[in-house]
Each structure stands twice: as C-alpha cells, then as structure tokens.
Structure 1
Amino acid sequence: MHLNHVSIFHSQKMIKTIVLSMAVATAAVVTGCASKPQVSGGASYAHAPNYYTVRSGDTLSRIANRYGMNYLDIAALNDIAPPYRIYVNQSLRLKGSAAQRTTSTQAMAQTAPIQRQSVNLPTQRPVTPPTQTVIPPTQRPVVPVVPVNPSSSTLASGLRWVKPSNGAIIQTFNLASNVKGTRYGGNVGDPVFAAANGQVVYAADGLKEYGNLVLVKHVDGYITAYAHNSKMLVKSGDNVTAGQKIAEMGSSGASRVMLEFQVRLDGKPVNPTTVLPN
C-alpha cells in the first residue's frame, strides 16, 4: 500500500508539470500574437498614428510599409508631388482623406527648404526700359489698379514687391534663432497680402508648426510663405497679384497672433528686407 501511494503521488506530480508546461506554451503563443497584429497576407504592421515625424533614413515607401499603407496615399494626404521628397523632422499626416485637403501636393511646404516647382505662372507685363519709345502725350497709358497695400519695390527682373502686412514687425530674419523670415504682429482677421504676382502652390494645414500656410511661387525662383493664418482665401492653382488679400492673420500653429512671412530663393531662405520696400 505504501508503494502504491508513492506511485500515485509521482504520477499526479508529472501530470501537473505537463499541464503547467502546456499552459506556459499557450500563453507564449497568445502573447506573441497580441504583440504583432496580423493583417491579410501574413504581414505585420505597426499601428499608424495621426501624424508621423520623419526621421533620418526614412522614405515614403519605408514609412508606408511600416504601417501597411500605400506611399501614394501618404503623398496625397500631405500634398507631396513627385519625386516625393521628404525631410527630417517633417510632420506627415497618416490618417484622413485626401478629398478633405484643399490641395493635392510639400511643401514647405516643409520645414526644410522649399523646392522649386515647374508651374505655369500668369503672363506678366515686362517693365518698359527708359530707352524705349515714350508714349505720346495724346495717348493715355492703361494704369493698373493700385492694390490695397500700395508701398512697393521693383527688382531688376521686373518683379514688383509689396509688404504682406500692415502690422508692426515683432521679429526680424535671424537664422541663428531659427527665424527664417519676418514676423508681423496684429489682430485676428487683419489682412494678409500677396507680396508679388504669382501662383498659389500650397494652401493647407499639413505642417503643424506653420498652421494654415499659403505658399506662392513667383518668377526667377522665388517662393513666398505666409504662416499662422486664421483663414485662407485662396487655393492651390489660383493666380494672385501683388497686394491682393490672400488670407487673414491668426495664431494657428503659433502661441500668439502673427504673420510669419518667408522668402525663399532657389529653395533657400533669404532676408525679406532684401526685396520688400522700406
């Protein structure tokens, strides 16, 4: 009887060990499945956030593969045109609908330098050199309508510039302080003017640090940026003239009401005072 009791005790101990091992193995399998959600086709993807900040080595394709998305969908959501360049620290929208966007292209577009784009700009009348024939007194030349903001300057290329805001300057261009343009103060709803003739290439809120952002492309490689607007009055593809009201001042993407005005030449920020009238 004593031997039978010992045998039964060892048998029960073995059964408990086997059951416990099976439970641990089952738990390991379940945990593995939970840590990597499966999608159709057997691939494993991370959960896509609303916004993604670009890191070194990222491409649209790599980001799309990471979250089980199509890189063309990400490009459409963020208004990124071929060849689909992205930049370190750029904020990309991963969720939403491209149909909800006001345009279909980076811009600043992007905190990195604005890239030149091939856009057909509206035909501009060349400035008449002093050596050309003077119009006889009997003829009245056609005088263009003076914009709301009349103060202007003209570069040698003939591009006429006006101030984008009537507000007081609160910060000036200073790359060392990461101020890539001129910042104007004012009140919500104050007018924001196009600084020169050109075409709108971006009008959206895809860059959180710039809020509602408008980009206008001009001749000779110039692009101007108007950030933190409360309201945008133009859309991508619109032709604008110097002095035209294109937005209203606000505080989107900023801690106070202001207009951040930037000028880019061949993708590099330049001091707006080099082109704007005094």
Structure 2
Amino acid sequence: MPIFPLLRHYALFSTLLISACGTAPINNSSKYQVKAGDTLYSIARNHNLSVSELQRLNQLRDTGIQIGQTLAVKPSPKTTSTPSPSNKPTPSKPSPAPAASKPTPAISLIWPSKGPILQNYNGGSNKGIDIGGEAGSPIYAAASGKVSYAGNGIPSYGNLLIIKHNQDYLSVYAHNQRILVKEGDIIKQGQQVAEMGSSGSNKVKLHFELRFKSKAINPKPFLAQ
C-alpha cells in the first residue's frame, strides 16, 4: 500500500482509539515531544486543547507532525490573553447626593412701635400685627435693611413703607402719617423711619407685617420680648 494512505489510516485509528478510551491524564509540562502513533488531535486532546489552539501555539499551518518534534502544549505567560479594559464592566459611580439648601438664618426684630397690640396676626383677615398709639408717634425699623418702597400706591395700606432686610425677609409699615425715609436709603435697626397715622384706615395705628419670600408670616416669634 502507498505510504500516504497508510499514514491516513493510522491517524484515523489513533483518533478513534482516543475517543473510545476517553481523555488521557493531562501532562502538566509546557512542552511535549511527539512519539510514534501521536496525532495532532491526540496531543491536543491529552493536553485539554483544541487542535486549532495547538496549531496556534506552535505556528503550524497543517496537521502534519514528526516523531521527536517538540510542541508547546501550554500558553506562555506572555501569550496569555487578558481581557481588554474596554470589556470589563465599568462600576457605576454613585450619584452625588443633592446639595442641601442652606437654611436661612431667622431674622431678629425689635418692636417697631411701643403702643398696645390692637389685633394679632391670623394669616387670614390680618396678615400682620396692628399696634395702637397716638398720631405722630415714632415708628422704628424692626431690622437693618434698604428701603424698597415708600409711597401710597396701595390705598388700603395708606402711606406705606417697605424695608428689605435680605434675600428672604422684608418688613411692612402701613397707615403712616409721614414717612421719613426714601426708596434706596440704607436703614439701621432702631432708626426712626416714619410717624404713626391713620392713612388708609379709620383709626390711628401701625399695621406691621413680616414677609418671608414675599409670603406674610407671623412676626411675633421674631420680635424681641
């Protein structure tokens, strides 16, 4: 029989024998010397490799091997493939917690007039405190700030003065007989800013409001006792 068909039959026989007997124990050596009867398939199978892996390790273009030939049967550390960083899952960063808004410091007020309280704040019909007294009695700035309005554009408030203390708070002084400051003036706490009167009202009184972010709030907790 010609030699090439004989070799093909021998290789086929070796392959079937390995398949029937199961996988031989794996050789832990990184090199293997080809022995008589070895095929590329049997060597790959015995070292837990595929034929293509064995060919790649040894740069073989076909399945032909020779007795005595030394083959690499384990990848060297340099050829061990490592996952690309792009394939690694990127741990998600926790979302930053929303920044807490700075609490506005409570404003400290002095009483704008020394008269008796005629009506307290109720949040409905009365948005502030009504303080009684005599016409011409002094009215003082409850806190330092800047005059943002001085006029009589709202009839029900009469001669009206508004002092802005900061971004959040402003104070309102209504029914004045006379306003002693003008818009844009910088005012100090305790400075006289008006005289008590009855403009826009049926009696002499000061209607005093405290507003937080434009909303009327009860001024009493902020007034010095």
Once the two structures are TM-superposed, the CA of residue 225 in structure 1 deviates from its matched residue by 0.3
Q: Is the 8 A contact 1:182 1:261 kept in 2?
A: yes
Aligned residue for 1:162, secondary structure, equals: coil
Q: Which residue of 2 aligns with 1:175?
A: 123
Unmatched tracts of structure 2, length 5 or more: 1-103
> Residues of 1 paired with 2:105 and 2:122: CA distance?
26
Question: Tell me, which stretches of 5 or more residues in structure 1 are unaligned?
Answer: 1-155
Tell me which residue corresponds to 2:169. 222
Give 2:162's aligned amino acid. L
In structure 2, the residue matched to 1:231 is: 178
Distance 1:273 1:159 in 2: 11
CA distance in 1, matches of 2:106, 2:191: 18
Measured after TM superposition, the shift of residue 181 of structure 1 is 0.2
Distance in 1 (CA, whole Å) between partners of 2:108 and 2:188 is: 10
Q: Deviations over 1:60-86 (max 9, x none)?
A: xxxxxxxxxxxxxxxxxxxxxxxxxxx
Task: Please name the residue that 2:151 is paired with.
Answer: 204
Q: Which residue number corresponds to residue 164 of structure 1?
A: 112
SS in 1 for 2:200: coil
Letter in 1 for 2:181: V
Larger radius of gyration: 2
Q: 1:212, 1:227 within 8 Å by CA — same for their partners in 2?
A: yes
Which amino acid in the other structure matches residue 168 of structure 2?
G
Check whether the contact 2:123–2:217 (CA below 8 A) recurs between aligned residues: no
Give the Å deviation of 1:277: 1.2
Identity of aligned residues (%): 43
Aligned-pair CA distance for 1:158: 7.3
Matches of 1:248 and 1:213, distance apart in 2: 11
Describe how 1:25-64 pairs up with structure 2 within 5 A. Answer: none
Q: 2:142 matched to which residue of 1?
A: 195
Task: Give the number of aligned pairs.
Answer: 122
TM-score, structure 1 as length reference? 0.43
Give 1:159 shift: 4.3
* SS of residue matched to 1:188: coil
What CA RMSD, in Å, does the superposition of the two structures yield over aligned residues?
Answer: 1.3
Deviating beyond 6 angstroms after TM superposition, the runs of 4 or more aligned structure 1 residues are none
> What's 1:273 paired with?
220
